[in-house]
Amino acid sequence: MTTTATDSNEITRTEKDTMGEMRVPASALYGASTQRAVQNFPISGRPVPASVVRAYGHLKAACARVNIDLDRLNTDRGNAIIASAEEIAKGQHVEHFPVDIFQTGSGTSTNMNANEVIANLVCVAKGVPIGSSKDPAYLGDKETGSGVHPNDHVNMGQSSNDTFPTAIHIAAAHDIHQHLIPALKRLEQELAKKAKAWDGIVKIGRTHLQDATPIRLGQEFAGYAQQARYSITRAERALEALLELPIGGTAVGTGINTHPEFDTRVCAKLSEALGVPFRAAADHCEAQHAKDACVEASGLLKTIAISLSKIANDVRWMGSGPRCGIGELKVPAVQPGSSIMPGKVNPVICEAVIMVACQVVGNDASVTMGNAGGIGSILDLNVAMPMIAHNLCESIELLANASDVFVDNLLQDLEPDEERCNELIEGSLAMCTSLVPVIGYDASAALAKKAYATGMTVRQVAIADGVLDEARLAELLDPMSMTHPH
């Protein structure tokens, strides 16, 4: 191995792989295979998600532990791999994973990226030059040597075709378990808190964006809290869909070049490390030839996104104004709303949540198409996995972050305007609905039409026309009583 300076004065080293020599940045922990991918795929400038890189660290460490237990890998090599892989699992060295999302559809470039980085981290730990991982003198004896080769040792019993989909599942399941579900629980708790606190506030209901019968503000927020509870359940179902891991299927799901117990043992190691109950795929061909589990999880994430968009949109509608809109809610002012209109405050947090929902819906469409027959899933392998990984992991991250922001920057300081709620109720034509059982639909409709034509309230018209005595009208036109079945 030699180091040289390129025309751009970048110091490089020369490495070899099965395709020949390749110049690699001298300080890079990756090798020739990764550098080829960097040159082949300068497409988006977005590398594979950091969560997938961390998942690879956990996976490679688990595989090394199992290979030691199965006497396939000597302890020195195995422990060296584990130590390096665990650094990656902790989020270190992410800058050495530069391969674009839009790469080989199996994720082979990223798998080799992980293999090379781990092998070179072992070189660093052993005090030998980076890039020595294919030097026979460094590697030593096949059985007893301590040098680590990226393919023979780091990738032992594995294939890109089973490690990359496994890394997707690990990353997504971990992030759902650790980030999304806790964020949704916070959201549910805050909405339920508001529902309880505001249960005595009556406001006008709206259907088709038109006045409807009264409803308690607490009832509306109880509905939102229930949406959040269902979102938690959906996130848990998404997690469940991802618990089966493809590891152990190697190239096409047959398990060639691996131990029969490799899959179950690796899953056990991962479960112990991450606190998520992973299990081996029931059928490795299904697990590798298609990514139905990712489509299922993404669909559930999309449903969560739609729930969040409904809640956020309702809040911004009820907070519209503050004087010329609905104005039943006082949306907290978190930043100036306009560069030209002084004093304007906009529902920017709601808008951000709604945009997240739009992005998640788009991500779901990409994940779906990435698994469609003839597009991503073809015969014995899905070949759209890096794109699926990016979109699935992004959706989880966006939903978790948006939920937290919605709680922290809006819901906690959201307030009702009770005076405005009362004002709008009394002027609503839908108040006549409670009179229908007593005076009939047609007579009630006539009252509403007259109230609209004269600018009077339904109560005022009913009193003026002597429809019922005032005590009976007060009973029937009590807004709170209209929010209960009777």
The residues assigned a catalytic role are 208, 338
As a three-state string, the secondary structure of the chain is CCEEECCCCCEEEEEEECCEEEEEECCCCCCHHHHHHHHHCCCCCCECCHHHHHHHHHHHHHHHHHHHHCCCCCHHHHHHHHHHHHHHHCCCCHHHCCCECCCCCCCHHHHHHHHHHHHHHHHHHHCCCCCHHHCHHHHCCCCCCCCCCHHHHHCCCCCHHHHHHHHHHHHHHHHHHHHHHHHHHHHHHHHHHHHHHCCCCEEEEEECCEEEEEEEHHHHHHHHHHHHHHHHHHHHHHHHHCCEECCCCCCCCCCCCCCCCHHHHHHHHHHHHHCCCCEECCCHHHHHHCCHHHHHHHHHHHHHHHHHHHHHHHHHHHCCCCCCCCCCEECCCCCCCCCCCCCCCCCHHHHHHHHHHHHHHHHHHHHHHHCCECCCEECCEECCHHHHHHHHHHHHHHHHHHHHHHHHHCHHHCEECHHHHHHHHHCCHHHHHHHHHHHCHHHHHHHHHHHHHHCCCHHHHHHHCCCCCHHHHHHHCCCHHHHCCC
Nearest alpha-carbon partner for 360 in 316, 405, 408, 303: 303
Distance CA 39, CA 27 (A): 17
Q: Do 245 and 229 contact (CB within 8 A), yes or no?
A: no
